[in-house]
Amino acid sequence: MTATSLGVEVLRLETVDSTNAEARRRAEAGETGPLWIIARRQTAGRGRRGRAWETGAGNLAATLLTTTWKPPAEAAEIAFVAALAVADLALMQVADVLVRLKWPNDVLVDGRKVSGVLIESGLRSDGRLWLAVGVGVNLKSAPVAADRPATTLTDHLRADVAAPLAPDAALEALARAFDARLAAWETYGFEPIRTAWAARADLGRACQVRLDQETLEGVAEALEADGALRLRLSNGSVRRITAGDVFFPGEVK
Residues 22-75 have pLDDT tens digits of: 999 999 999 999 999 999 988 866 555 445 555 667 899 999 999 999 999 999
Whether residue 175 contacts residue 4, with contact meaning beta carbons closer than 8 Å, is answered with yes
Cα separation, 74 vs 84, in Å, equals: 17
Write down the pLDDT at residue 49: 46
**Fold match between 2-199 and 205-247?**
no
Sign of torsion, CA 190 106 36 47?
positive
- The type of residue at 94 is V
- The type of residue at 174 is L
- Grouping H, G, I as helix, E, B as strand and the rest as coil, residue 38 is strand
pTM for the predicted model, two decimal places: 0.91
Mean pLDDT of 76-91: 97
Query: Which of 59-73, 107-121, 132-146 comes out lowest in average pLDDT?
Result: 132-146
Within 10 angstroms of residue 169's Cβ, the number of other Cβ atoms is 14
Domain map (residue ranges) of the chain: 2-199, 205-247
Cα separation, 208 vs 245, in Å, equals: 8
Q: Is 217 exposed, middle or buried (0-12, 13-18, 19+ CB in 10 A)?
A: exposed
Mean pLDDT of 167-177: 96
Cα separation, 88 vs 122, in Å, equals: 28
Cα separation, 75 vs 77, in Å, equals: 5
Write down the pLDDT at residue 45: 60
Within 10 angstroms of residue 56's Cβ, the number of other Cβ atoms is 17
Cα separation, 192 vs 184, in Å, equals: 7
Write down the pLDDT at residue 251: 74
> Is CATH 3.30.360.10 correct for 205-247?
no
Whether residue 247 contacts residue 148, with contact meaning beta carbons closer than 8 Å, is answered with yes
The CATH number of the structural domain formed by 2-199 is 3.30.930.10
Q: At what angle do helices 78-91 and 191-199 cross, to 10 degrees?
A: 40
DSSP class of residue 156? Answer: G
195-215 pLDDT, tens digit per residue, is: 999 999 989 999 999 998 999
User: What are the Cα distances from residue 27, in Å, to 23, 24, 52?
Assistant: 6, 5, 22
Cα separation, 223 vs 101, in Å, equals: 12
Write down the pLDDT at residue 196: 97
Whether residue 118 contacts residue 62, with contact meaning beta carbons closer than 8 Å, is answered with no
